[in-house]
Structure 1
Amino acid sequence: MLATALTGRRCHLVLGARVLPAAFHAWVATGDGTPVGDDEAGGHDHPWTPVYTTP
Structure 2
Amino acid sequence: MKEFFKLPSPNSTHPNAWKRNLIHVLLIFASCFGFLIYIPSVYLAWQQKFGEKWLF
Superposed pair shares fold, TM > 0.5? no
* Structure ranking higher on relative contact order (CA contacts 8 Å, 6+ apart): 1
TM-score (norm. length: structure 1):
0.23
**Structure with the bigger percentage of strand:** 1
